[in-house]
Structure 1
Amino acid sequence: MRSYLIPLVGALVLWACARPIAPEGGPKDTTPPQVVATKSTRNGALFFRERAIFLTFDEWITLQEVNSQVFVSPPLAHRPEITLKGRTVIVRFHEDEVLRPNTTYTIYFGSAVRDLHEGNAAQDLRFVFSTGDHIDSAAVAGIVVDAFNGDPLENIAVMLYDNLADSAILVERPYYLARTDKSGQFRIPNVRPGVYRCLAIEDADQNLRWRADVERLGFLDSFLVVRPADTLVSAPVLRVSAPAPVGRLMMRRVNQYGAVRLGYGRLPEALDVQVEPPTLRWMASRDQDTLVVWYDNPDSLTWNLIVGADTVPVRPLLKSAFLKQHRLFFGDERLSPPPSRRPNQPAPPVALPPPRTVSVRAGRPVLIPLNAPITAIDTALVVLLADSVPWRNFSLTIDPSTPLALRLDLPWERGRRYTLTMLPGALTDLWGATHADTLTRLFAPPSEKQVGTLALAMEKLTPGGAYVLRLLNGNTLEEERFFIAESTQRREVFVDLAPVVYSVQLIEDINRNGRWDGGNYFARRQPERVFFKKLESLRPNWEMEFSLSPSSEAPRRRE
């Protein structure tokens, strides 16, 4: 027994000694691993026929995120096997892989190869070889940005197709491929002369094909030509946008009486909504990518909601149980829950929050959100006071864009304080319920010393062109205007603005639908251009002039 134990212990000691471990002490290693050329497969080889590539490094390394970091251009039919043995990375081609003749291949390793101890990634690690008698030397470079905000996009697949058919991006892998860095820039080296279709695809599933229903895409208006004498071809800016919403139903909630909520990946602007039976009372509203269909079903019938090609059955629920819990109130406030009580003790009334004061702007209506769809207003039960004096020059209606809001119009006067009181029963919702509480809201037009005026002078507009001008307070839309340019210049004035920093956003509304639209690859329509400008801080009691001059260039990243 002893004669076997001693060699075993010795082997374990030797194995422990051979394991690479991080050294203790000393300065931190910041040098990335380097390929030892004399111990590796030759980079830049011609008439390449090998079935495996060996890259040996000058220190111990690890492989990380190989599937996402390592790719081959032109893409291979089969994913190569990439393994690590000691300090050597081994790339083995699949047994069924047939390399194209007279083609220059580039293997990009990204940040997959890192040193063992500090995780320093090998820099610009590529392996190039040719199955022919020369290495193609031209390069294609450019930048990829978000079409709406101009931000550079990282890890977007930029593809060159030698098959110029429109459908190639759906069914074929590209001939050349690169991925963008953090600054949105890309570079495709070793491109042979030819004519290519250049595209930028999000490629979330990494299958090197475009999924037209979900993946963002950017494309050029014309083919990209690489001539024999070219060394660097600069591609125009690729502006990436999401495909048009297809109305794919992702979520449905039907367990609450009075409301069906349908969630979509992206909610289309227009949806065909129907109910069966058609006599059912209903109305609809939108909440980002959710469609809310409000309904009243007092007879507890089973009914169907039909939205486009989707049919959603809705089982009958008790209206009486719903009305016991329902309380009509403002939509931007929460009622405080009642305090705890002893068993069999009646619940105390819910305490109403104090009336909210809302700042208003001269010449603009105020929207008052509610927590239920409104069908009627009894104006005889609505009172408006201006500094405690009854004020009759006003209009209170249901907002035409949503049944969940009221619209209050009146000529606001500075220095006055307005109080809107809706007495019990003033509002009736879809279910015939009214409010037992008195609903009160306060409005305070600011004085001239508290607000400023912003004047925007726009130049280099296209006469006859349609535009959408948006004034932003951070990420909040302050005001939106649509106009047709009568000349190359236009001036817009915004009054009664809080003294903060604003940004302006100008959209070239090509199809004149009042909103921004992304590109359409098969219709050869580029995303509508958007121009941003961050303005200086607006001063109170000042009128400040700013300018915006859209150029023929792609919108640059917003400040």
Structure 2
Amino acid sequence: MGQPDGGLYDETPPRIVGATPADKAVGVSPKKVTIYFDEYITVDNPTEKVVVSPPQIEMPEIKGAGKKIVVELRDSLKPATTYTIDFSDAISDNNEGNPLGNYTYSFSTGDHIDTLEVAGSVVDASNLEPVKGILVGLYPTTPDMAFTAADTAFTTTPFLRVSRTDSRGRFIVKGVAPGQYRIYALQDMDNNYFFSQKSEMLAFSRDIIVPACKPDVRQDTLWRDSLHIDSIVPVRYTHFLPDDIVLKAFTEVQTDRYFLKSERQKPEAFTLFFSNGDSRLPEVRGLNFDDRGAFVVEASEKNDTVTYWLRDTALVNTDTLRMEVRYMGTDTLGALVSNTDTLEILPRESYEKRMKRMEREREEWQKKQEKARKRGDVYLTEMPAEALEPEYDIESEPAPDRNITVVMPSPLARIDTAAIHLYSRHDTLWYRSPMVFREREGKPRTYELLGEWRPGTEYSLEIDSAAFTDIYGRVSGGMKKGFRVRTLDSFGSLIMTVEGMADTAIVVELLDTQDRVVKSVRTSDGTAEFFYIKPATYYMRMFVDSNGNGKWDTGDYAAGRQPEEMCYYPERIECKAKWDISLSWNPLERAGDRQKPMAITKQKPDKEKTIKRRNEERN
């Protein structure tokens, strides 16, 4: 006994049976387009997948209704212009989801249809990740028009033709007329189709694009079933050029400076956040307190985040700090001018709540001591003062090039370096080992201990009580930590010869499987040497350090400056203990969209829509 199953599954994609106006019609004036199909269809995410070109400032309405799709253009139609509606893979049948495939409808308000295409890809200039959903557009130009003259269109006028990248970062600009163009990419935040905000990701090229086409032949594979090839046949098609454009997108440095917010996470300090840094730190004038000598000021590397530690405990216990803050900020013309704000800064936990919490903690401590006294154990009669608790970053088996890091929870008033001892063990005896304890540059409240770390040697770091005292009088407790530096047999080494970079300043970075930097080497002779590498799988990238600051720098459109060139080694690197690896690499051998290994690419391609072929399984 059983139930009838209803027959074969539908494995046929929807078929277009007509359109009003007809596809590739000329002399069109209506702004409403209706496309008819032979079965019920659905349109998947039309606001993201469907692209109308030329771009529409007022978003068109796209609806799938029954066996038809209705597109209503709200902008006025331009004369003698080819319009394309690129549905990509958004159309599929309603029952089984069989995709129609990439479909583009076009019509012209003039007497002919422009059919040329321009294709390529967009990657993030900082890490070569494919950029999904970014707009790519064209502007007309001439050979005698300098780039500085053409760039005004990108900042004032919408794109002439437009497309959008897919999950692989690929784009195809369709309906292009013969001529010469410049090409741009834009993460359009305000939907005006030109670069108007510095926060918008963009890409540009100085090359002039000349669309063309030629007849070509490709090899198509016919499958007998999902496992066996039936035959490979040549297929003639029209090859549109160029189809290998690579645009590297970047976000400019935010130069506009304005006040963002204030925070007081701890009662001992408050922080002021700005959109960008300035050489002059803000001036704080207390309105309900005396600000003379009241602060220990900590600024971030870019001076865009400034923390003020309160020296006086009376200020720490004050819930509301009223102050006048004077800082440099940009006006509407982009010039730095003095601004003054009046702020009231409150802690996350009020003084009253802190006192109640401390009282509860004291009562719990007293109960524990009373229980210890009744049991006859050791107990205390006075609660110890709050101690300073540094964070020690000490590995049990560090590499010889790894130093010890100490992070303080609050600014220090005193460091007793005589209370810091480093010992090394030779045979069975312990000897004092030379070391340097210093503050790390650009890292507030962060210190590092440098020593002569010898492979295979056992060390002991011993810090006496009261070695560190903060501005509130809290002192640190004693600490003792032993560790053994790994032997050279535990590591491998890697020497990478970067071809074509013998006289160029570059930074070569060794990456883990999460695309994070493990080691970095600056070189100007084309050879990067990495030592003390733990056995693991690694990847590698490099960038041209044009300004010699050791950091990757973004581009500047107004100055016509591209971001610093980033390249990825296309293969993985297996490092083993006691192995010395020598490799060579030509970073310009592959285009930028084909360099980064898929294993560490975070922007994975979307699953391609295909016919499900359920009848094979059913049969």
Give the TM-score taking structure 2 as reference length.
0.73
Counterpart of 2:249 in structure 1 is 240
Counterpart of 2:343 in structure 1 is 313
The verdict on how the C-alpha distance between 1:530 and 1:343 changes in structure 2, with shifts beyond 3 A counting, is closer
Is the Cα contact below 8 Å between 1:156 and 1:203 reproduced in 2? yes
Mapping 1:98-113, distance limit 5 Å: 98-113=76-91
Do residues 405 (structure 1) and 446 (structure 2) align? yes
Do residues 35 (structure 1) and 16 (structure 2) align? yes
The verdict on how the C-alpha distance between 1:497 and 1:76 changes in structure 2, with shifts beyond 3 A counting, is closer
Counterpart of 2:120 in structure 1 is 142
Do residues 381 (structure 1) and 366 (structure 2) align? no
Is the Cα contact below 8 Å between 2:393 and 2:405 reproduced in 1? no
Distance 2:253 2:478 in 1: 45
Residue type of the alignment partner of 1:345:
K
Counterpart of 1:391 in structure 2 is 432
Residue 340 of structure 1: how far off its partner (Å): 12
The verdict on how the C-alpha distance between 1:557 and 1:356 changes in structure 2, with shifts beyond 3 A counting, is same
Do residues 456 (structure 1) and 478 (structure 2) align? no
Distance 2:471 2:48 in 1: 53
Residue 192 of structure 1: how far off its partner (Å): 0.8
Paired residue secondary structure (2:13):
coil
The verdict on how the C-alpha distance between 1:232 and 1:217 changes in structure 2, with shifts beyond 3 A counting, is same
The verdict on how the C-alpha distance between 1:433 and 1:284 changes in structure 2, with shifts beyond 3 A counting, is same
Structure 1, residues 53-89: CA drift from partner, whole Å, max 9, x if none? 2211111123443333333211235433333443122
Distance 2:567 2:169 in 1: 19
Counterpart of 2:284 in structure 1 is 276
Do residues 257 (structure 1) and 237 (structure 2) align? no
Mapping 1:184-195, distance limit 5 Å: 184-195=169-180
Is the Cα contact below 8 Å between 1:518 and 1:526 reproduced in 2? yes
Is the Cα contact below 8 Å between 2:510 and 2:518 reproduced in 1? yes
Residue type of the alignment partner of 1:367:
T
Residue type of the alignment partner of 1:60:
Y
Residue 272 of structure 1: how far off its partner (Å): 4.0
Residue 302 of structure 1: how far off its partner (Å): 4.3
Residue 270 of structure 1: how far off its partner (Å): 6.0
Paired residue secondary structure (1:178):
strand
Counterpart of 2:542 in structure 1 is 506
Distance 2:361 2:13 in 1: 64
Counterpart of 1:439 in structure 2 is 479
Counterpart of 2:165 in structure 1 is 180
Do residues 473 (structure 1) and 451 (structure 2) align? no
Counterpart of 1:53 in structure 2 is 33
Residue 424 of structure 1: how far off its partner (Å): 1.7
The verdict on how the C-alpha distance between 1:86 and 1:498 changes in structure 2, with shifts beyond 3 A counting, is closer
Is the Cα contact below 8 Å between 1:362 and 1:495 reproduced in 2? no
Counterpart of 2:465 in structure 1 is 424
Paired residue secondary structure (2:418):
helix
Give the TM-score taking structure 1 as reference length.
0.80
Structure 1, residues 303-330: CA drift from partner, whole Å, max 9, x if none? 455665375736487999999999xxxx
* Comparing 343-352 and 363-372, the one that deviates more: 343-352
Is the Cα contact below 8 Å between 2:301 and 2:442 reproduced in 1? no
Structure 1, residues 190-238: CA drift from partner, whole Å, max 9, x if none? 2112332310112245442334322211110133334799953346310
Counterpart of 1:3 in structure 2 is none
Distance 1:204 1:308 in 2: 27
Residue 516 of structure 1: how far off its partner (Å): 0.6
Structure 1, residues 310-367: CA drift from partner, whole Å, max 9, x if none? 75736487999999999xxxxxxxxxxx999859636888999999544333355332
Distance 1:407 1:287 in 2: 18
The verdict on how the C-alpha distance between 1:144 and 1:70 changes in structure 2, with shifts beyond 3 A counting, is same
Counterpart of 2:596 in structure 1 is 558
Residue type of the alignment partner of 2:567:
F
Counterpart of 2:367 in structure 1 is 345
The verdict on how the C-alpha distance between 1:501 and 1:214 changes in structure 2, with shifts beyond 3 A counting, is same
Counterpart of 2:372 in structure 1 is none
The verdict on how the C-alpha distance between 1:236 and 1:286 changes in structure 2, with shifts beyond 3 A counting, is same
Which gives a bigger RCO, structure 1 or 2 (Cα 8 Å, sep 6+)?
2
Q: Provide the identity percentage.
A: 26
* Comparing 147-156 and 293-302, the one that deviates more: 293-302
Distance 2:367 2:100 in 1: 72
Paired residue secondary structure (1:237):
strand
The verdict on how the C-alpha distance between 1:117 and 1:344 changes in structure 2, with shifts beyond 3 A counting, is farther
The verdict on how the C-alpha distance between 1:281 and 1:521 changes in structure 2, with shifts beyond 3 A counting, is same
Residue 174 of structure 1: how far off its partner (Å): 0.9
Paired residue secondary structure (1:212):
coil
Residue 519 of structure 1: how far off its partner (Å): 1.7
Structure 1, gaps ≥5 residues long: 1-22, 327-337
Do residues 73 (structure 1) and 44 (structure 2) align? no
Structure 1, residues 105-136: CA drift from partner, whole Å, max 9, x if none? 11122344332223344322221111122111
Residue 147 of structure 1: how far off its partner (Å): 0.9
Residue 178 of structure 1: how far off its partner (Å): 0.8
Distance 2:548 2:501 in 1: 15
Structure 1, residues 467-492: CA drift from partner, whole Å, max 9, x if none? 22223334443333333x2xxx4333
Residue 43 of structure 1: how far off its partner (Å): 0.6
Structure 1, residues 344-394: CA drift from partner, whole Å, max 9, x if none? 636888999999544333355332333334453201211222237241411
Mapping 1:211-222, distance limit 5 Å: 211-222=196-207
Q: 1:362 aligns with which of 400, 412, 416?
A: 400
Do residues 225 (structure 1) and 210 (structure 2) align? yes
Distance 1:210 1:458 in 2: 36
Is the Cα contact below 8 Å between 1:263 and 1:289 reproduced in 2? no
Residue type of the alignment partner of 2:157:
E
Paired residue secondary structure (1:181):
coil
Residue type of the alignment partner of 1:199:
Y
Residue type of the alignment partner of 1:252:
S
Residue type of the alignment partner of 2:409:
N
The verdict on how the C-alpha distance between 1:93 and 1:411 changes in structure 2, with shifts beyond 3 A counting, is closer
Over the aligned positions, Cα root-mean-square deviation in angstroms equals 3.9
Counterpart of 1:12 in structure 2 is none
The verdict on how the C-alpha distance between 1:57 and 1:228 changes in structure 2, with shifts beyond 3 A counting, is closer
Q: 1:414 aligns with which of 441, 445, 455?
A: 455
Paired residue secondary structure (1:167):
helix
Counterpart of 2:307 in structure 1 is 293
Is the Cα contact below 8 Å between 1:138 and 1:233 reproduced in 2? no
The verdict on how the C-alpha distance between 1:79 and 1:398 changes in structure 2, with shifts beyond 3 A counting, is closer
Structure 2, gaps ≥5 residues long: 142-148, 215-238, 286-291, 316-320, 330-338, 370-382, 598-619
The verdict on how the C-alpha distance between 1:251 and 1:433 changes in structure 2, with shifts beyond 3 A counting, is same
Is the Cα contact below 8 Å between 2:422 and 2:434 reproduced in 1? no
